[in-house]
Amino acid sequence: MSTFQAPKGTYDLLPPNSATYLAVREAISAPLKNSGYGYVETPGFENVELFARGVGESTDIVTKEMYAFETKGGDQLALRPEGTASVLRAALEANLHKAGNLPVKLWYSGSYYRYERPQKGRYRHFSQVGAEAIGAEDPALDAELIILADQAYRSLGLRNFRILLNSLGDKECRPVYRAALQEFLRGLDLDEETLRRAEINPLRVLDDKRADVQKQLTGAPSMPDYLCDACTAYHKEVRELLDAAGVVYEDDAKLVRGLDYYTRTTFEFVHDGLGSQSAVGGGGRYDGLSEMIGGPSLPSVGWALGVDRTVLALEAEGVDLELPATTSVFAVPLGEEARRVLFGKVTELRKAGIATDFSYGGKGLKGAMKNANRSGARFTLVAGERDLADGVVQLKDMESGEQGPVALDAVLETLKAKLG
């Protein structure tokens, strides 16, 4: 029998690379924790209807990419393809919006599932860190989120990303634009499927990657020309706040997102070293989503950054994160008595917060030192019968190769001093 493999479109995170993923999640969430966002965690699956209504019946995510299933109890569920609808559902269910402290600011980190055609940067299981600010209409909130994402990427050392910014209007001006675009698209020479899309979701056609379609789209009505006064003023203020913060962005009138809930501010973070799956993160305002899922009017804004693609972006830029050493000290006992004594030392060092590991499995000195080397530990502690009789262990600096005895009861203090 052949061994099992990870399902198509998925991959495992394993040491040592998995440490980079943890560091990326930490770097993205740090600015959020520092800005009033509280941690939220929701189930990995939800009622399928939540996503159908929230993300949009006609989106690719809902029609083609959802892992939907019926439970033995007859519930219609789906693995979450994104986080916004779930987080808003959770906030509404717990009445967080009624606690009188709007906006409710939440951040999350987790796994998401989309049945997409796998390729580099596009997986069926991927992870995001996201933020949602629920219940306030304020351009400063849109700006805050974009600034925090920019800060997160910069703190990781990323430089070759760009921020694309657009406004999709609101319930006053978007329908007028939509109708104008539809009228324009009807006059083009498009295949049947695209014409159908133009009827259901015309803005998606702007996102068509085919050159012949893009060519026909020159001269298409442009959203900025259709924004109402309120949306124009709102967008102007978002842009001014970003300018004041020194965050560079590009206006992109053709930026449309793959989810239907967006209104007004929309943005995407793209990285130029990633080929076709260049969006490392995205988000925007979703003023109507709460009502779409049965809640009160709660204008909101948020984003999600893709952890997998952020790691690819780091690789593309050749950025090596400074990761903390996983093991600082490695203990090698020679003989039974040493095993007992050193194991006690290991526990003592760990309690003091020093990352320490132990040679298990009764290896000889040579094999154990190989393990010590591989662990990346800066120091090893070696002890045999004679050392114990003298009340010492041998402390070896793996960088300089220097070695010398240290009294057993001075090991902790000595290592503390040496490790700074």
Q: Which residues bind ligand HAM (CB under 6 A)?
A: 82-84, 114, 116, 122-123, 126, 128, 130, 132, 258-259, 279-284, 286, 302-304, 306, 308-309
Give the end-to-end CA distance of the chain in Å, rounded to a whole number.
52
Q: What are phi and psi of 322, to 5 degrees?
A: -80, 95
Q: Which residue is nearest to ligand HAM (CB)?
A: 306
Q: Which residues contact 346 (CB under 8 A, 6 or more apart)?
A: 331, 356, 357, 358
331 closest CA partner among 383, 265, 387 = 383
d(CA 290, CA 298): 6
Treating both helix axes as pointing N-terminal to C-terminal, what angle do 84-93 and 48-55 enclose, rounded to 10 degrees?
110
Pick the closer one to ligand HAM by CB: 54 or 202.
Answer: 54
Pick the closer one to ligand HAM by CB: 280 or 368.
Answer: 280
Pick the closer one to ligand HAM by CB: 309 or 345.
Answer: 309
Pick the closer one to ligand HAM by CB: 131 or 185.
Answer: 131
419 closest CA partner among 369, 359, 379 = 379
> Whole-number minimum distance, CB 42 to ligand HAM, in Å?
12
For residue 60, the surrounding DSSP H or E stretch is helix 60-63
Pick the closer one to ligand HAM by CB: 83 or 333.
Answer: 83
As a whole number of Å, the CA-based R_g of the chain is 27
> Whole-number minimum distance, CB 251 to ligand HAM, in Å?
19
Q: Degrees (nearest 5) of the Cα angle 226, 228, 231?
A: 110
Pick the closer one to ligand HAM by CB: 52 or 331.
Answer: 52
> Whole-number minimum distance, CB 144 to ligand HAM, in Å?
13
> Whole-number minimum distance, CB 233 to ligand HAM, in Å?
22
Q: Which residues contact 63 (CB under 8 A, 6 or more apart)?
A: 57
CB-based contact 127:112 (threshold 8 Å): yes
> Whole-number minimum distance, CB 274 to ligand HAM, in Å?
9
> Whole-number minimum distance, CB 152 to ligand HAM, in Å?
13
